A and B are shown apart, each in its own frame.
Chain A
Amino acid sequence: MRRLLYFLPLVICLGIALFFYRGLDLNPRDLPSALINKPAPEFSLPALPGRDIQRADDGLARTDLTTGKPVVVNVWASWCIPCVAEHPLVDRLAKREGVTVHGINYRDRPDAAAAWLKRLGDPYAKVGKDESGRVSIDWGVYGVPETYVVDGDGVILYRHAGALSPEILERKILPLVKGGG
């Protein structure tokens, strides 16, 4: 039995090598989420305190994604620079296009996050604070910002990693939230 233990490193190494061999034919640069066309993970986050909007004090949970209407979930943090860059687009999505946008505030200090929203505008319907980053791991968040489109039944339709651009907004996100009904 103890002898067999000495073969363990070899077995692990050969297993990894097999994966590498198969992996050589695949392209890692297509980077959609593992959750595309799958239900969004179960989660419940406390509300971000200190926001101006009154009714936003009851947190963000999975039930907010199953209201029958498509929503956009935007993962952001006040310390994240690309988030500043994409913020006008999130604002436009919510205020001009009338889409419900929820925010997940990723690993942030609540006071800094609230101040950030005061300074740059607060387009979010609800903002859940994910101080530990646990919920974001479940969502497969790679880095902030990230944006998800979820249909009315809680199924993730689209994911964009990195800052939004006008093209992404117009070509990908708007058709999904407007057409999907």
Chain B
Amino acid sequence: MIAEIGHFALIAAFLLAGLQATVPLYGAHKGDRGMMELARSTAVGQFALVLLAFAALVNAFVTSDFSVLNVAQNSHSTKPMLYKISGAWGNHEGSLLLWALILSLFGAMVACFGRNLPPSLRARTLAIQGMIALGFLAFMLFTSNPFDRILAPPSDGAGLNPLLQDPGLAFHPPFLYFGYVGLSISFSFAVAALIEGKVDAAWARWVRPWTLAAWCGLTVGIGLGSWWAYYELGWGGFWFWDPVENASFMPWLAATALLHSAIVVEKRDALKSWTILLAIVAFSMSLLGTFLVRSGVLTSVHAFATDPERGVFILALLAVTVGGSLTLFAIRAPKLQTTGVFQPISREGALLLNNLFLSAAAATVLLGTLYPLFLDVLDAGKVSVGPPFFNATFGPLMAPVLGAMVIGPFLSWKRADFRQAMQKLWLGVAAAVTAIVLVLILSGAEGILPAVGVGAAVWIICGTLLELADRVKLARVPLSESWRRARRTPRAAYGMTVAHLGVGLVVAGVLGATVFKTESIQNMKPGNVVDVAGYTFTLDRVERLNGPNYQAERAVFRISTDGEQFATVNAERRAYPVEGDTTTEAGIHTTWVADLYAVIGEGNPRDGWTTRIYHNPLVPWIWLGTIVMSLGGVISLTDRRLRIGAPSRRRAPTGGPSSPAPAE
């Protein structure tokens, strides 16, 4: 019964989305206030209905209602509660429902918090959002209904892929989708602006927080996914350039570019059609990812069970959404008037450089991901494009971005003095050069790449901190004056500082994981000892244990350095009888400067076990860095001008002991 309520809620949401997609658009055209206002109520109503459907599905999973096909195929009664819940979105139909839920959530948020938007822009934005929802709800109702019943329910379910039974992955899709789908709002804003024929500073200020929120979610989502791959797949790596990873990374690159170009639109009234294009492209990349994962055109470890009928449907959806918006772009964008002009050496110039290279990187990842498909279709043979291609192309494209992201904030708008900026940065240059030389000496000049990488990380972190110091005139004015300036600095500026520091941490972490790791593979019996990077690992014992729905072999390692034991880690190999699969759980001890990582492979008490032990310096910084980056986004979101939406951001605080108090 509850499943049917969910189904009906979906149908009702579909009908409401139809209203939301049409009436407000006509109202905005005619200038009819009532019709425009319909956008808000339908957006909120649609969200409530999809939420109801989602709750019905989660309920079916929690109560193990195996008369629902989706539950029978993807759940099992002995599964821990967390994975019963996360199982609701661990499959094609359920994840699509999560998609629709977040889509309508963003629509409802614009309806509720977008009070200061001009009514016609708000109505058009929500109408576009309604169109996307219409497409996805139709897709679900016609090809992928999560509430289908089976006539003869099985006594128990088929279980969930054991790899997915993991806390990291339980929360990975919600964050990732929040980012993926959140970009729909930037897209809707862009299309609405094209319909209106007007893009101005106010538009950029409205669209930026939504993009920023989606970007934060996407950053955390990608970080969680990579973290999961690191400890669950058990080979010490964190990123594999798998088509599905790329599918989440391309929208991230586009959204990052969008965040930066929107600043230029807001402050300088330039780069308008480019920003609109980026907003369209960013969401198109999300849709593309959805298509790639669900249509079976590419192979991936993450792909859902595929079905050609679904593929055709999503492709049609993709073609209409992206093709339609790009047609509108081709017709309308040339008419957008730009007033801001700037010299190549300027803040705008640096942001443009960032945009060019981020877009080129996104295009490269796109090409690498789709190249096998292109050749296959042209009957030119089958190839696969792996890490060698991405490693050779992505790094060089990122290098200018990493260089410019430090210098950019020192440059003034419109026209800047490069020499002067570099003079302020001499300490950063010195630190980076020192780091490079130091690494070259310590590693015996073995490779230039690790040294340059370390230099880049030091450059970003030092340069970003120097920018903050320069902003508050640290050491040039009395400390109390600096403190006063620090408190007057808008939160958006702090957001940038924090996010850029996060990038520095990620660069350092990636470097540690790729060039500085030490690894040792051997056969061990209890009592055996192995030395890795100055740490002594002793295999203490291997024990059998029973989990809620698996049996495991757990290896306990004692780790000591200089004869002093300081940690034990447990590495497990789990066998899931229901699914007939095994997984590895790496034992990780982190010192925050390095990870000590142990994995147990096959073996038995007589012959011993294969063990792999890694020393991964700086790796924890990858995830720390992604969290710091999104934290920067959140800080920027709390900026006064976004909360108030008025351009009066230069008002000094009234003084008093507290830091700048929120206005509301």
Interface residues of A (CB under 8 A from B): 2-3, 6-7, 9-10, 13-14, 16-17, 19-26, 28-36, 79, 81, 84, 107, 109, 132-134, 136-137, 140-143, 161
Instruction: Pull 14 A–B residue pairs with CB atoms less than 8 Å apart, ordered by A.
Output: A6-B333, A9-B281, A10-B329, A19-B377, A28-B296, A28-B298, A28-B373, A30-B382, A31-B382, A34-B381, A84-B521, A133-B392, A136-B388, A161-B384
Q: Is B32 an interface residue (CB 8 A)?
A: no
Q: Are B384 and A142 in contact (CB under 8 A)?
A: yes
Query: CB-CB contacts of B513-540 with A at 8 A, as 1s and 0s?
Result: 0000001010000000000000000000
Beta-carbon contact of B329 and A9 below 8 Å:
yes
Task: Check if A6 sits within 8 Å of B334, measured CB to CB.
Answer: yes
The minimal Cβ–Cβ distance linking A36 to chain B, given in whole angstroms, is: 8
- Confirm or deny: B308 has a beta carbon within 8 angstroms of a beta carbon on chain A: yes
- Which secondary structure characterizes the binding site on chain B? helix
| Closest 5 A/B residue pairs (Cβ) | A34-B381, A10-B326, A142-B386, A23-B297, A142-B384
Name the interface residues of B307-334: CB closer than 8 Å to any CB of A. 308, 311-312, 315, 318-319, 322-323, 326-327, 329-330, 333-334
Interface 1/0s, chain B 370-391, versus A by CB < 8 A? Answer: 1011111100111111111101
- Whether B376 and A13, one on each chain, are in contact in the complex, defined by CB atoms closer than 8 angstroms, is no
Which residues of chain A have C-beta atoms less than 8 A from B315's C-beta? 17, 20-21, 24
When the two chains form their complex, are residues B377 and A23 in contact, meaning their CB atoms are under 8 A apart?
yes
Complex: A167 Cα to B588 Cα, angstroms: 35
- Asked if A20 and B295 sit within 8 Å, CB to CB, the answer is yes
Query: Is B196 among interface residues, defined by CB-CB distance under 8 A?
Result: no
Q: Name the distance in Å between A70's Cβ and chain B's nearest Cβ.
A: 22
Q: In the docked arrangement, what's the CA distance between A107 and B291, Å?
A: 33
A29 to B372, CA, bound (A): 11
Q: When the two chains form their complex, are residues A81 and B377 in contact, meaning their CB atoms are under 8 A apart?
A: no
Report if A9-B277 is in contact (Cβ < 8 Å); known contacts: A34-B380, A143-B386. Answer: yes
B299 on the A face (CB < 8 A): yes
Q: Known contacts A6-B334, A23-B373; is A28 also within 8 Å of B299 by CB?
A: yes
* Measured CA separation A44–B322 after assembly (Å): 46
| Chain B residue contacts of A19, Cβ below 8 A | 370, 373-374, 377
B residues with CB within 8 A of A: 235, 273, 277, 280-281, 284, 291, 295-299, 308, 311-312, 315, 318-319, 322-323, 326-327, 329-330, 333-334, 370, 372-377, 380-389, 391-392, 446, 519, 521, 612
> In the complex, what residue of chain A is closest to B311 when comparing beta carbons?
A24
CA–CA, A26 and B446, complex, Å = 45
Instruction: Give the distance in Å from the alpha carbon of A15 to the alpha carbon of B388 in the complex.
Output: 26
Tell me whether B373 and A133 are in contact (CB under 8 A): no
* A83 shortest CB reach to chain B, Å: 10
A58 to B381, CA, bound (A): 33
Q: Are B318 and A17 in contact (CB under 8 A)?
A: yes
Q: A24-B295, A133-B388, A140-B384 known; A17 and B319 CB under 8 Å?
A: yes
Please tell me which one of the listed residues B327, B377, B382 contacts residue A10 in the complex, with CB atoms under 8 A apart. Answer: B327
* Dominant secondary structure of chain A at its interface with chain B: loop
- How many angstroms from the CA of A10 to the CA of B343 in the assembled complex? 30
Interface centre among B295, B308, B380, B521 (most CB of A within 10 A): B521
> Known interface pairs A19-B374, A29-B299. Does A141 touch B311 (Cβ–Cβ under 8 Å)?
no
Q: How far, in whole Å, are A84 and B327 apart by their CA atoms in the complex?
A: 54
List chain A residues, Cβ under 8 A from B334. Answer: 2-3, 6
Which of these, B297, B322, B382, B519, contacts A34 with CB under 8 Å? B382
Asked if B376 and A26 sit within 8 Å, CB to CB, the answer is yes
Looking at the complex, which one of A14, A21, A132 makes contact with B323 (CB distance below 8 Å)? A14
B370 near A133: Cβ-Cβ < 8 Å = no
On chain B, the residues within 8 Å of A30 by CB distance are: 382
How near does chain A come to B69, taking the closest CB pair, in angstroms?
A: 24
State A23–B291 Cα separation when bound (angstroms). 12
Supplied contacts A14-B323, A23-B377, A33-B382, 9 more A-B pairs, CB within 8 Å: A10-B326, A28-B382, A31-B299, A32-B381, A34-B383, A133-B388, A133-B391, A142-B384, A143-B387
Kindly list chain B residues whose C-beta atoms are within 8 Å of the C-beta of A142.
Answer: 384-386
Chain A residues with Cβ below 8 Å from B318 are 17, 20
Q: Are A25 and B308 in contact (CB under 8 A)?
A: yes
Most chain A CB neighbours (cut-off 10 Å) among B296, B322, B326, B370: B326
Closest to A38 in B: B381
In the assembled complex, the Cα of A23 lies from the Cα of B259 at a distance in Å of 33
Q: How far is the CA of A34 from the CA of B384 in the complex (A)?
A: 9
Asked if residues B299 and A33 are in contact (CB atoms below 8 Å), the reply is: no
Tell me how far the C-beta of A65 lies from the nearest C-beta in chain B, rounded to whole angstroms. Answer: 20
Q: Which residues of B contact A79 (CB under 8 A)?
A: 519
CB nearest to B332 among chain A residues = A6
Q: Which of B277, B377, B381 sits near A22, CB closer than 8 Å?
A: B377
> When A3-B334, A20-B295, A24-B311 are in contact, do A10 and B521 touch as well, CB less than 8 Å?
no
How far is it, in angstroms, between the C-alpha of A20 and the C-alpha of B372 when the chains are bound?
12
Expressed in whole angstroms, the Cα–Cα distance for A124 and B319 within the complex equals 52
Which residues of B are found within 8 Å of A23, using beta-carbon distances? 297, 373, 376-377
Taking a contact as CB atoms under 8 Å apart, the answer to whether B380 and A13 are in contact is: no
The distance from the CB of B319 to the nearest CB of chain A, in whole angstroms, is: 5
- B370: chain A residues within 8 A (beta carbon): 16, 19
Nearest CB on A from B126, distance (A): 25
Cβ B383 vs Cβ A140 within 8 A: yes
User: Taking CB as reference atom, which chain B residue is nearest A82?
Assistant: B235
CA A19 to CA B292, docked complex, whole Å = 12
**How far apart are the CA atoms of A81 and B602 in the complex, in Å?**
13
Do B291 and A20 have beta carbons less than 8 Å apart?
A: yes
CB-CB < 8 A to A2: which residues of B? 334
Closest to A29 in B: B299
Q: How far is the CA of A136 from the CA of B281 in the complex (A)?
A: 33
Chain A residues with Cβ under 8 A from B311's Cβ? Answer: 24
Bound-state CA distance A99–B440 (Å) is 42
Q: Which chain A residue lies CB-closest to B308?
A: A24
Known contacts A16-B370, A19-B370, A21-B315; A6/B291 CB under 8 A: no
CB-nearest residue of chain A relative to B281?
Answer: A9
Q: Report chain B residues within 8 Å CB of A143.
A: 386-387
Q: How far is the CB of B237 from chain A (nearest CB, A)?
A: 10
For the complex, what is the distance from the CA of A19 to the CA of B380, rounded to whole Å?
A: 13
Please, which residue of chain B has its CB at the minimum distance from the CB of A143?
Answer: B386
Contact B376 A28 (CB under 8 A): yes
Q: Give complex CA distance A81, B601 in Å.
A: 11
Rounded to whole Å, the gap between the CB of B607 and the closest CB of chain A is: 15
CA distance A156 to B370 in the complex (A): 25
- Residue of A at shortest CB range from B306? A24
When chains A and B are docked, how far (Å) is the Cα of A107 from the Cα of B387?
11
List chain B residues, Cβ under 8 A from A35.
Answer: 381
Which B residues touch A136, using CB under 8 A? 388
In the assembled complex, which residues on chain A have CB atoms less than 8 Å from the CB atom of B374? 19
Residues of A within 8 A of B297 (CB): 20, 23-24, 26, 28
Known A-B contacts A26-B376, A34-B380; the reply to A7 vs B330 at CB < 8 A is yes
CA gap between A142 and B322 in the complex, in Å: 31
**Distance from B57 Cβ to chain A, minimum over Cβ atoms (Å):** 28
On chain B, the residues within 8 Å of A20 by CB distance are: 291, 295, 297, 315, 318, 373
